[in-house]
Amino acid sequence: MEPFKVHVLGCGSALPTLRHSASSQIVEIREKMFMIDCGEGTQMQLRRSRIRFTKISAIFISHLHGDHCFGLIGLISTFGLLGRTSPLHIYAPSEYKKVLDIELDMFCKQLGYELIFHPVNTTLNQVIYEDKSLTVSSIPLDHRMPCCGFIFVEKPTSRHIIGDMMKIYEVPISQRNNIKNGADWTTPDGEVIKNEFLTKPADSVRSYAYCSDTKYLPNLHTYIKNVNLLYHESTYSDEFKILAAKYYHSTARQAASVARDANAGKLMLGHYSSRYESEQVLLDEAKEVFPNTILSEEMKTIDV
């Protein structure tokens, strides 16, 4: 099975601390690297993670609060200094284009590579990126400014060839792709060999949902049904649920409710308020609703 991993670079909230960096993650899938959010200090976290800068092909920005995008122009500049030549795709709320153009004109006039901006309508659930192996769709969220999440979904793969059976029935190499795609094989004597004797089932399709800053949305689960791994912000514990509502954030218990209703495989908490010296209280509250919950942590890598 091809790698599908999430690398956590930062899981803190707006106020910088010595314990947590601002929001940023790398999604690694089938040898491709995608960044989600790029808070201040992300470049240093990339260095610590030993992820190759040049392998990042696209960056997805959930919204325009500084702890999710202040690091982007610096990273764009560094790509130029490193001699990048391949295009870099930026997917962000349409409002960011005006700011980005000013920053590029001021700091990055000679990048040496093409920067392609894709405006995202944060109010829609729609496919915003697609290649031969996956799709990325936006997930409408409700924050103090336009904001969306993202769901990465693998495309189905072909069935797995059983080499020994192919030899037994003398299936030509030229027919391998047809067999992988579900075709039966007819021998020269006219015997039909069913595909299930020649192949094993394809790998299960995997998915990862990133739900950035948002107040609790009771219907959010409808966009992410049966997701394998869900990241959902959990800025506060129940003790501060009034603050969560006021500032359009979620509590850990509310994040767990979304995971439960979505029938998610695993929940990862993050975007912790700086008031907590330990996030154990958040983990404990979430586990009361959704037991398969973990805490995100800088330099942690999670298999989807």
Residues identified as active-site: 67
| Cα–Cα distance, 33 to 58 (Å, whole number) | 8
Record the tokens describing residue 198, joined without a space. 């020649």
- The tokens 């072909």 sit on which residue? 158
Running DSSP on this structure, what letter comes out for residue 270?
E
- Enter the tokens of residue 224: 């992410």
CB atoms near residue 182 (< 10 Å) = 12
Tell me the C-alpha distance between 145 and 213, whole Å: 10
Q: Are 206 and 264 in contact (CB under 8 A)?
A: no
For residue 247, what are its two tokens? Answer: 């500032």
Cα–Cα distance measured from residue 25 to residue 135, given in angstroms and rounded to the nearest whole number:
17
Measure the CA–CA gap between 38 and 118, rounded to whole angstroms.
16
What gap in Å lies between CA 147 and CA 109, rounded to an integer?
29
Torsion of CA 297, 245, 37, 99, to 10 degrees: -150
Which residues have a Cβ under 8 Å from the Cβ of 112 and sit 6 or more positions away? 80, 83, 84, 85
Q: What CA–CA distance (Å, rounded) separates 170 from 193?
A: 11
